[in-house]
């Protein structure tokens, strides 16, 4: 029997998730359907309830519903608790198991696909929002020498520090106080969506650095352009993270993890 899965967001027409999951299913011989749902704002729970009555077995969640999904879940994994957000729901009877695979997908893309070992490196994460919350746990688990979170507005960093009180490698700095060069610079801000670059300086990119924009499919974003102008040769967007987190959800639902390389190549947009 064909089982139903979906992604929900608003807007949702841009989503690559149906293409990714149907592609995984085709390669692995899995009998499933996967659709995109444009959820009405303020009606997340009732929308999901209606689709569960139609047989929905699992749901990916994108903007702006990740916190709604966190509240909806009857239980959550540790990554979701750290992030305060859920991007994957698995339904079994009355239960809705929430998970957050964004950080795991990011870390796997950086290490497995891009061949960049985080251990012992100096890492700079730009921004203190939900994307950063989801990324910190998996990145810290890989043993960076230092992981600095840059913030624009003082105060938000306190929440992040409280999540990882034992993380000696974790520190925080205002953009204006960034003095050092970093081996890995991650843009986790929303600046890309407004066509702007975060206020990071060329000196903050070390020789041989990797510049990574969590946004995907936007071509050469302002952040990546800034990195290139600073002499960074390895600039990537978040398409690998997107595919890797999808593979985690697929494995959760179907019990088998897809290979991701071909799908990443298929949907990558040139950085021009």
Model pLDDT, residue 155: 85
**Do both 228 and 116 map to the same domain?**
yes
* Positions marked active-site: 66
**CATH number of the domain to which 22 belongs:** 3.40.50.10860
Are 88 and 139 part of one and the same domain?
no
What is the extent of the structural domain holding 234? 103-239
Of 100, 133, 168, the domain-final residue: 100
What is the number of domains present in the chain?
2
Domain boundary among 100, 132, 154: 100
pLDDT of residue 194: 79
The per-residue pLDDT for 50 is 98
Sequence-ordered list of residues with C-beta below 8 angstroms from that of 250, at least 6 positions apart, any chain: 21, 24, 256, 257, 258
- Using CA atoms, how far residue 118 sits from 128, 185, 249, in Å, is 20, 11, 24
Mapped onto helix, strand or coil, the DSSP state of residue 60 is strand
Say if residue 47 is in the same domain as residue 144.
Answer: no
pLDDT along the chain (272 residues), means of 10: 96 95 98 98 98 98 95 97 94 97 97 98 95 93 97 87 92 96 96 87 97 94 97 97 98 98 96 90
Residue 19 CA to residue 21 CA, distance in Å, equals 6
The last residue of one of the domains, among 43, 68, 100, is: 100
Question: Is 237 within 8 Å of 222 (Cβ atoms)?
Answer: no
Whether residue 226 sits in one domain with residue 117: yes
């Amino acid at each position: 029997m064909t089982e139903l899965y979906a992604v929900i967001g608003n807007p949702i027409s841009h989503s690559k998730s149906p293409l990714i999951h149907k592609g995984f299913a085709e390669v692995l011989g899995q009998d499933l359907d996967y659709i995109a749902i444009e959820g009405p704002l303020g009606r997340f729970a009732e929308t999901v309830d209606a689709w569960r009555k139609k047989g929905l077995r699992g749901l990916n969640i994108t903007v702006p519903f990740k916190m709604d999904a966190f509240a909806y879940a009857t239980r959550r994994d540790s990554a979701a608790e750290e992030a305060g957000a859920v991007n994957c729901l698995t339904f079994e009877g009355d239960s809705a198991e929430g998970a957050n695979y964004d950080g795991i997908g990011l870390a796997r893309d950086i290490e497995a696909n891009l061949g960049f070992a985080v251990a012992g490196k100096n890492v700079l994460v730009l921004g203190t929002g939900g994307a950063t919350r989801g990324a910190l746990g998996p990145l810290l688990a890989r043993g960076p020498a230092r992981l600095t979170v840059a913030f624009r507005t003082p105060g938000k960093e306190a929440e992040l520090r409280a999540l990882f009180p034992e993380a000696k490698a974790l520190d925080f700095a205002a953009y204006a106080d960034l003095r050092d060069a970093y081996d890995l610079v991650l843009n986790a801000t929303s600046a890309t969506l407004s066509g702007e670059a975060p206020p990071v300086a060329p000196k903050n990119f070390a020789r041989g650095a990797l510049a990574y924009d969590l946004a995907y499919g936007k071509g050469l974003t302002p952040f990546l352009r800034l990195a290139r102008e600073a002499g960074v040769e390895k600039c990537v967007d978040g398409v690998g993270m997107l595919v890797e987190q999808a593979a985690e959800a697929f494995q959760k639902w179907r019990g088998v993890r897809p290979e991701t390389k071909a799908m990443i190549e298929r949907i990558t947009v040139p950085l021009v």
